Structure 1
Amino acid sequence: MSGEKMNFNATWSMAVGGMVGGGIFSVLGVIVHTAGQWAWLSFLIAGLIALISAHSYSQLSIKYNEGGGAFTFLREINHKGFAGSLSWILILGYILTLSVYAFTFGHYVAHVFNAGSWLPRVLALIIIAILAGVNLKGIGNASKVEIITVYGKLLVLLGLAIFGLVEWNPEQLTQGIDPKPWHMAIIGAGTIFMAYEGFQLLSYDYSDLTNPDKTLPGATRWAVISVIIIYILVAIGTTMIVGAESLVENKEIALSIAGKKALGTTGLVIVTIAAAFSTGSAVNATLFSTARLMESVAEKKDLPQLFAIENRNKIPFYAVLGIAGISAFLAIIGSLSSLVDAASIIFLFTFGIVNLIAFRQKIKRRWISLAGAIGCGLAMIADIIVQLENTPYAIIGLFLISTAIFVFRPYLLKRIN
């Protein structure tokens, strides 16, 4: 980002857009399946962990007077080797998140056309290819567009939520499913944590904020609080409209089902347009930010130098292509639940590390950061235990990839760079 700096409103909008952009459209059905009538509590627990993490991110950015997130923070405390390995895992988390957004985009748009099961995967591939091309042209960071469209997304989501809340029928929260014990809300919080990950992308843009020492902590704090409220209202309201069973059975397009039930074809079209713009902009923003992160890491020789090479538009060419290719492949072969779970575990791990750094570096109210680190750890462990029972291959694969990164990354870099 360059040119005019972002004020509080722009920063708040970008943070909200980064979270809501693909979050609630992707995870609503997943969380209702996991936590049932306690889905709202899962959003609250995950949101509180994100709120604490936002405090740690902003205070560490202020302390070091630079952006860069976990990678920069670890390098500042002379854990350069761990910083390099964590950056690889974090990039993997963003790639998984991008594939979730593309997957969700494909299913929402394909639902309108009622075509075969092949169309959502093709549309996911197409949206990634198009936006990779947009990024390579040097116009990927459309922050002003995001600021404008975020209010449209919120209007649609709040409209659905209010429609359902006015109907108020608590029996819908367990309609067609077995009631869940309250502790499933804790597991659910870990499962859908990726729905809150977007705010920390602003830590990469620290130098582009107006008066960042005040703007960053205030804007991110109120952005996370706003998103917590929105997610809770949408989780309760949309379930009131269509019932829990319908959201679980149609988890890839949960909000479209609610929109159609509320306002017929008009509701379906409105929600589909909102979902397409939200997930599309989330793909675009995540692709842009991840490519810049890869470029920054490569410049510090923690990734192959190939990813620091820019095209004539000053865009990291191979980074964009690599991210787009892998995320498209995952969107084509993956399932929504497994992709969301894997991404959530990575972000819980990363946020836990940042909270721990913040505690050890004695930032303001550091006990809050310690609580955040513990919360991230507990949610991650709970999620891993459950997923080992349900989708063991995805979790084992993620563990093996992460272990291989920590073990073999230094040797690989020596041979390539």
Structure 2
Amino acid sequence: MSERLGLTECVSIALGGMIGGGIYAVLGVVAKLTTGATWFAFVLAGVVAACAGYSYNRLNALGDDRGGSVSFVQQTLGNETLAGMVGWTLLFGYVGSMAMYAYAFAEFAIGFGAVPSAYAGVPLRPVISVGAIALFVGLNLLGARSTGTAENVLVAVKVGILVAFGAFGLVYATGLSDTAMTYGFGQFTSVSPLVAAAISFVAFQGWQLLFYDQESIADNVETIRKAVYVSIPVAVAIYVLVAVVTVNLAPEALQSHPHVALGDAASEMLSVFGLSSLGFAVISASALFSTGSAINATLFSSAHFAKRLIRGDLLPDRFGDGDADGVPEKTVLALGAATAAFSAYGSLGAITSFASLAFIIVFGAMSYLAFRQRDHEDVNPVLPAVGALGALGFAPLMFRNLYRREPETFWMVVVLAVFVVAVELLYFEREAIQHHLSEFGDGVNSRL
């Protein structure tokens, strides 16, 4: 039991998977769409995520094989192909998310001034991204307790900094400066907060990683239930606090260079003490903690998820031993290698957009599966219905935004999605395809 994760570690892993992407990668994009109503977009996305979290918890408590989305599909629908496609789609989403975090980690390291942007004419951003991935691959190979302890430290530091940033920012904006606070109430009747909520949905995917780690969690069903219900509201509160402060103190930075907008806001509020450079440095350090803990949490949990796919014959066993204690080393190394390749060479815009859509669709589908269990006395049908309609309603909004604002990324996402689905069908329906090809070949030979 000493090697199992408790509630503190589980909340840390869930927050680590959410805060890192939400604040530093998504905030600027959301603010460009809905400016003062950015906080409202985070609330909308958080409500849908909380309803999806309820659905996951209910399905997890009702099922015999507790393993997350794939197990839920297998138990409720009995369709191995569909279950496998859900699993592979999520795995691609996790790799894309980790690549995004690693890319952001390198950008913040360079912006912080810790390392130069290039050496001997060679850009160092890809090198730093790959190095960060290698660091957390090594940490995960040390075991669950090392990973959980590290996540406690990383999350405690970044949450403390962000809460202090938000609290002091409100004090500064409302009492120490002449800033006219805006909350975007006039945009509530427009579609922009809904589109922004759809884009920000990827910021709320970290909690469901816990469902793939259950063999490493003490009293897993109850611990995960509590961790989900704690982590999502905490993440929403932090997003709202930071969004209100940043939108009001650094509106120009959000439009011109959104990745460092929080640093500009911190510089503004500490300028009254002559410490503007310190504010930027502290927020930059927090960004490194945040993106690092997001890589750590996602790698840890996605490796457990991949192990379950291997054990269920939904992923080739060349990727690891499904019966190994903890996570198979080959699985961690394979995920790390794929993430490193994406972060160094891939189109992160397309990969990240695909990951967002993957989580929207899967969360909506799991909420629908929970809604199908509404006759069970332990299932409240309202919350799964909100989760299904909300998440699946976000998908067309995401596509619409990409098509109108980033047509090249839109088509790249479409091509990537078609490719992934084709590969999945070729793998899971390989026997049926071989049978049909054999029949076709026999028919051709008989005619000859």
TM-score by length of 2: 0.83
Cα offset, 1:5, TM superposition: 4.3
Residues 239-318 of structure 1 aligned to structure 2 (within 5 Å): 239-243=247-251, 245-263=252-270, 264-309=276-321, 315-318=327-330
Residues 190-269 of structure 1 aligned to structure 2 (within 5 Å): 190-243=198-251, 245-263=252-270, 264-269=276-281
Task: Give the whole-Å Cα distance in 1 for the aligned partners of 2:261 and 2:125.
Answer: 15
Aligned with 1:330 (options 342, 347, 364) = 342
Cα offset, 1:160, TM superposition: 1.6
Q: Amino acid of the residue matched to residue 368 of structure 1?
A: L
Kept in 2: contact 1:201–1:289 (CA 8 A): yes
Cα offset, 1:316, TM superposition: 2.3
How far does the alpha carbon of each residue in 1:313-334 deviate from its partner, in whole angstroms, 9 at most, with x for none?
9642332233222222222345
Kept in 1: contact 2:96–2:348 (CA 8 A): no
How far does the alpha carbon of each residue in 1:303-358 deviate from its partner, in whole angstroms, 9 at most, with x for none?
11101238999642332233222222222345665444222111011111111111
Q: Amino acid of the residue matched to residue 407 of structure 1?
A: L
Equivalent pairs: percent with the same residue? 28
Aligned with 2:413 (options 395, 401, 407) = 395
Aligned with 2:149 (options 123, 144, 152) = 144
Task: Give the whole-Å Cα distance in 2 for the aligned partners of 1:351 and 1:93.
Answer: 13
How far does the alpha carbon of each residue in 1:129-158 deviate from its partner, in whole angstroms, 9 at most, with x for none?
222233345468511232243232111111
Residues 1-400 of structure 1 aligned to structure 2 (within 5 Å): 3-77=2-76, 78-113=78-113, 115-116=116-117, 118-138=123-143, 142-166=147-171, 167-168=173-174, 169-170=179-180, 182-243=190-251, 245-263=252-270, 264-309=276-321, 315-334=327-346, 337-362=349-374, 363-389=378-404, 390=406, 391-400=409-418
Task: Give the whole-Å Cα distance in 2 for the aligned partners of 1:415 and 1:3.
Answer: 48
Cα offset, 1:110, TM superposition: 0.7
Larger radius of gyration: 2
Pair 90,211 (structure 1): closer, same or farther in 2 beyond 3 Å = same
Task: Give the whole-Å Cα distance in 1 for the aligned partners of 2:379 and 2:325.
Answer: 41
Task: Give the whole-Å Cα distance in 2 for the aligned partners of 1:248 and 1:126.
Answer: 30
Secondary structure of 2:205's aligned partner: helix
Pair 261,401 (structure 1): closer, same or farther in 2 beyond 3 Å = farther
- Flag structure 1 segments of 5+ consecutive residues without an equivalent: none
Task: Give the whole-Å Cα distance in 2 for the aligned partners of 1:272 and 1:297.
Answer: 37
Secondary structure of 2:314's aligned partner: coil
Pair 394,266 (structure 1): closer, same or farther in 2 beyond 3 Å = same
Q: Amino acid of the residue matched to residue 373 of structure 1?
A: A
Kept in 2: contact 1:161–1:233 (CA 8 A): yes
Of the structure 1 ranges 87-96 and 220-229, higher mean CA displacement relative to structure 2 is found in 220-229
Kept in 1: contact 2:16–2:297 (CA 8 A): no
Aligned residues: 410
How far does the alpha carbon of each residue in 1:229-275 deviate from its partner, in whole angstroms, 9 at most, with x for none?
110111111222222x3123222333333333333222222222222
Cα offset, 1:180, TM superposition: 10
- Flag structure 2 segments of 5+ consecutive residues without an equivalent: 271-275, 435-448
Pair 135,215 (structure 1): closer, same or farther in 2 beyond 3 Å = closer
Cα offset, 1:172, TM superposition: 7.2
Of the structure 1 ranges 375-384 and 20-29, higher mean CA displacement relative to structure 2 is found in 20-29
Of the structure 1 ranges 349-358 and 258-267, higher mean CA displacement relative to structure 2 is found in 258-267
